[in-house]
Amino acid sequence: MIEDLRGAVDNLTTCHRHLADLIASPAEAEQANRQLDDIVLAIKTGNERLETAERQRQQWAATHAPGMDMVVALKRIDQMNQGHLLEDWLQLQPGIEVLHTLMQRHQEVVNRLAFYIHERVNVLTQALSPADTSLYASSGKTAPGSGRQRSLGDA
């Protein structure tokens, strides 16, 4: 049970680190798209694997330690069986925290990208007023002569 969780957490952490590397230094566009597709598929598969491992852990806990905290249950089982389940569980926790942090960061990146894309689409699709005669320059700023204060660069 704990080994399944460890494998799933380690796999997902590796996937998210690959994603962080790709975000930090993107490759050529076509190659980056393929890499991103591969990473997203690996993360999806990793999430499914983690979900399965967590379901197994919950079933194990319901069977072996109903209503008990996981640490207390593992401590009792270790005392009865001279095992090391609690130690393994505690060693897994830092990896879970690293994965959680990476996932949060990537969710923030995705949210920011979605916001900026939405802003750009709004700028491009909103109806122009008849008084708006500005042109967008390559810098992303509008040329003077417009009462409108938005530009592609502002989005």
Residue 133 has pLDDT above 80, yes or no: no
Give the helix, strand, coil percentages of the chain, each rounded to 5: 75, 0, 25
User: What is the predicted pLDDT for the residue at 30?
Assistant: 81
At residue 121, the pLDDT reads 85
pLDDT at 127: 64
Position 101 scores a pLDDT of 96
- Give the mean pLDDT of the chain: 83
Judged by average pLDDT, the poorest of 5-9, 70-74, 131-135 is: 131-135
Between vectors from CA 14 to CA 74 and to CA 30, what angle results, nearest 5°?
Answer: 155
pLDDT, one tens digit per residue, over 73-109 is 888 888 888 788 889 999 999 999 999 999 999 999 9
Q: Which has more confidence, 116 or 65?
A: 116
Residue 151 to residue 155: CA distance in whole angstroms: 7
Contact 134, 143 (CB under 8 A): yes
pLDDT category at 122 given cuts 50, 70, 90 is confident
pLDDT at 17 over 70: yes
Could you tell me the two tokens for 69?
Answer: 């905290």
Report whether 133 contacts 145 (CB < 8 A): yes
Q: What is the mean pLDDT of residues 130-140?
A: 56
